[in-house]
Amino acid sequence: MKHSLWMTAKLVILSCIVTTGFVFSSYATTNSENPPPAIKEHAEYLELQHMMIETAGEFDRSTGLHRFVLGSRYVNAFFEQREKLASLYQNYQNAKEPDPVLKKILIDIVNEQSTSIKSIIEKIDTLNAQDNDKQAQLEAQTDILIHEQVVARRNRILDQYLQALFVNTQYQQGLDLDHTSDVTYLEQKLQTYARYAADSVEALLDARENFLRVLGFANADVQTEINDKLQALEHKKVGAIETLAQRIQLMNSLSMDTREISQFLVIARGKLSGDLLDADIIVGLSEQMTNALARWFSENGIDLILNIIMFFAVLLVFSIIAKLVRKVVQNALDHSNLKISALLHKFFVSMSSKLVLLIGFLIALSQLGVEVGPMLAGLGMVGFIIGFALQDTLSNFASGMMILIYRPFDEGNLIETAGVTGIVSKLSLVSTTVLTFDNQSLVIPNSKIWGDVIRNVTAQTTRRVDLVFGIGYSDDIPKAEAVLAGILDEHPKVLKNPEPMIKLHTLNESSVDFIVRPWVATSDYWDVYWDITRTVKQRFDEEGISIPFPQRDVHVYQAAIEQQDDSK
């Protein structure tokens, strides 16, 4: 079969040489004084033709690497011929008047080319069929890779020959030749080859999916091997998709129906490229997706509806349970003897209900067929990423947890921290809201509070009022002590226990200072402070006890002044 194909090609080439040579010699004889511009191209074409005959004969007698080199030389010479033919045809088209001799030459060359191209295409078909049987017998990985590379190169050459045959049909049409036979032949071949390419892409996609499924539960060594195979498959897939795209493009040039195979190419590529951007393809893909969804829903629709109903039913049941758990926990904390902060109280109540809802959500997802285990693992990774991005927020959260556990203050306490003094109006795990005495609401991050000194003014039920009162050096100290003691005894909000303290404390420059330290309820601090201050002033005035202000005595010595006057 192989020998007969090459013999046919050689006979066709020889007949073309004889015919075109006769016409060319006749033209050269009658027009020796003014040869046409196409003479050189035609002569070079005939030289290439002669070289191809010798190469074809040597190809039949050779083997191994030499045979491969001869095949490459033959293919290169053929496409050089195609360039010469294109130049001759261009000269014919550009001529002001039709040249019958050049037309005759072109007709002979074009007919010879059509026969030669179809012969080579059949030859490639035969070799591909033989290689399919040979590939099944190969065992060594190296032999398989070499064989795949040879087949891939042969298919690239096949696409070049198909493109050449298409151009030939255009030449035939321009030379007023019947090109119906070649067009029909090309359409049949393209249908077959496009289907082969699509099957190859589909097989590669299936192999890739199988490897990906195995990759999930394979050990490290097997995963490395599978990843290497996936890379090789990806390379083959790209080549197969490119081959299919070229054949589809050629089919479109012949106005063939490529909608179905183009839709497959879009799916294989995973995107809609510009060369396939067509309304029919988009409509076809939409119909295909709609039909696929309809088939899937007809097979799984009832189960899906039941699963969705179960999903919402589980959520509803667990939401009711969460509300009940919330009430139970809240009542238990309200009636317990545990001394916990309001923040910790809210935390326990809130977390109890949310934990129940989370469990219910996971159970509901399992009703939809969602694997909870991988999702939890994914949430762990997402949590790590989010935690890295929200470091400051998590720092506030951690500080809030420390405040919740150690309870340095609670809602309603008067505190001084982070340069702020006020009453705690709201506590959360992230921030603390403080209401200042001038009615400003300040939101302080918990990390600022926990990292600073916290002064809880109202943490205790009783508080000492520290007061200082001064009397003059000429005033009666026992009398002043008796007046101060009487004021404290008469005030209803001063506590008897602990006992108030009245002591002479300091001999200042202008006054004798007493410290007065009564104990009061924390809520009465400022009332007692202001009442006692007012009462002391009034009683000291009534008893004739002075409250001195800062003063300085200046002593003037007269003798010193007189001496200064005498010296003058």
Per-residue pLDDT of 7-22, as tens digits, reads 444 444 444 444 444 4
What's the rounded mean pLDDT across residues 475-504?
93
Q: Dihedrals φ, ψ of 469, to 5°?
A: -130, 135
Express each pLDDT in 159-201 by its tens digit: 888 898 899 899 888 888 888 888 999 899 888 888 888 888 8
Express each pLDDT in 295-343 by its tens digit: 777 777 777 788 888 888 888 998 899 889 888 888 887 777 766 666 6
pLDDT tier at 35, thresholds 50, 70, 90: low
Q: Which token pair is 159? A: 């696409």
Report the amino acid identity of residue 79. Answer: F
Residue whose pair of structure tokens reads 């099944």 in the numeric block: 136
Is 500 strand, coil or helix?
A: coil
Q: How much of the chain, in percent, has pLDDT values that exceed 90?
A: 15
Question: Which residues 6+ apart lie within 8 Å of 511 measured at CB?
Answer: 470, 471, 472, 473, 547, 548
What's the rounded mean pLDDT across residues 502-516?
92
pLDDT tier at 471, thresholds 50, 70, 90: very high
Cα–Cα distance between 186 and 164 in angstroms, integer?
10
Is 198 strand, coil or helix?
A: helix
Q: Is a pLDDT exceeding 50 seen at residue 95?
A: yes
Return the closest-CA partner of residue 248 out of 239, 257, 236.
257
Cα–Cα distance between 270 and 241 in angstroms, integer?
11
What's the rounded mean pLDDT across residues 30-41?
56
Long-range contacts of 210-214 (CB under 8 A, 24+ apart): none
Domains and CATH numbers, the chain: 1-127+161-178 (1.20.120), 410-456 (2.30.30.60), 462-543 (3.30.70.100)
Which range of 21-25, 206-210, 363-367 scores highest in mean pLDDT? It is 206-210
pLDDT at 7: 47
pLDDT tier at 500, thresholds 50, 70, 90: very high
Q: Dihedrals φ, ψ of 106, to 5°?
A: -60, -40
Express each pLDDT in 268-300 by its tens digit: 776 545 544 555 556 655 666 677 677 777 777
Q: Is a pLDDT exceeding 60 seen at residue 494?
A: yes
Q: How far is CA 306 from CA 202, 365, 369, in A?
A: 35, 13, 12
Q: Where are the alpha helices (DSSP H) in 368-504?
A: 372-389, 391-406, 446-450, 477-490
Question: Which residues 6+ apart lie within 8 Å of 45 measured at CB?
Answer: 81, 84, 85, 88, 109
Express each pLDDT in 398-423 by its tens digit: 888 888 777 888 888 889 888 898 99
Burial class of residue 187 in the structure, from the number of CB atoms within 10 Å of its CB (0-12 exposed, 13-18 middle, 19+ buried): middle
Treating both helix axes as pointing N-terminal to C-terminal, what angle do 180-215 and 259-269 enclose, rounded to 10 degrees? 30
Give the containing element (helix H, strand E) for 292. helix 279-334
Across the strands, what pairs with 444?
Answer: 432
Which residues of 137-190 form beta strands (DSSP E)?
A: none
Residue whose pair of structure tokens reads 């890779």 in the numeric block: 145
Looking at per-residue pLDDT, the higher value among 492 and 393 belongs to 492
Q: Is a pLDDT exceeding 90 seen at residue 138?
A: no
Question: Which residues 6+ apart lie within 8 Å of 113 measured at CB?
Answer: 81, 82, 85, 164, 168
Report the amino acid identity of residue 14. Answer: L
Q: How far is CA 502 from CA 273, 474, 539, in A?
A: 95, 19, 16
pLDDT at 234: 83
Cα–Cα distance between 49 and 535 in angstroms, integer?
131
Instruction: Assess contact for 505 and 439: CB atoms under 8 A.
Output: no
Question: Which residues 6+ apart lie within 8 Å of 365 measured at CB?
Answer: 311, 372, 375
The alpha carbon torsion through 67, 73, 78, 83 (nearest 10 deg) reads 170
Q: Which token pair is 275? A: 């060369």
Mean pLDDT, rounded, of the chain: 79
pTM above 0.85, yes or no: no
Q: Which token pair is 106? A: 């072109």
